[in-house]
């Protein structure tokens, strides 16, 4: 019993202590063969700058369509299009912000 309580407690703690990005994006994406890092690079390749990438990400999270997806056809055939995310605005923006900060290229090249 104590074990369960501790387990539940740690789990909740784990879940709530993480940021919006960890909570909403990473968990689900763990299942996918293409990493979030790769997907980010696809976005960079197509949308280039920070504002454009963020706007595009947000739009796709709300309205995922096959013809705007950056993923290869083969991937989409296997995994399908994701469901529109039902996050509130603030959290989505926060998640995307963290996503950008995590993978952006500027300052990491040597």
Concatenated DSSP letters for the chain?
Answer: -HHHHHHHHHHHHHHHHS-HHIIIIIHHHTTSSS-HHHHHHHHHHHH-SHHHHHHHHHHHHHS--GGG--S-HHHHHHH-PPPPP---HHHHHHHHHHHHHHH--TTT--
Contact status: 88 vs another protein (CB under 8 A):
no
Minimum Å distance from CB 75 to another protein? 16
Minimum Å distance from CB 85 to ligand HEC? 6
Q: What character string, x for contact with another protein (CB under 8 A) and - otherwise, covers 23-62? A: --------------x---x--xxxxxxxxxx---------
């Amino acid at each position: 019993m104590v074990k369960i309580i501790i387990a539940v407690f740690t789990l909740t703690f784990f879940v709530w202590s993480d940021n919006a990005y960890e909570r909403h994006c990473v968990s689900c994406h763990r299942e996918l063969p293409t990493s979030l890092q790769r997907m980010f690079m696809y976005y960079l390749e197509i949308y280039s700058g920070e504002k454009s990438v963020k706007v595009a990400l947000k739009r796709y999270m709300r309205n995922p369509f096959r013809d705007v997806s950056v993923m290869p056809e083969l991937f989409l055939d296997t995994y399908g299009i994701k469901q529109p995310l039902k996050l509130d605005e603030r959290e989505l923006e926060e998640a995307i912000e963290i996503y950008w900060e995590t993978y952006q290229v500027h300052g990491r090249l040597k």
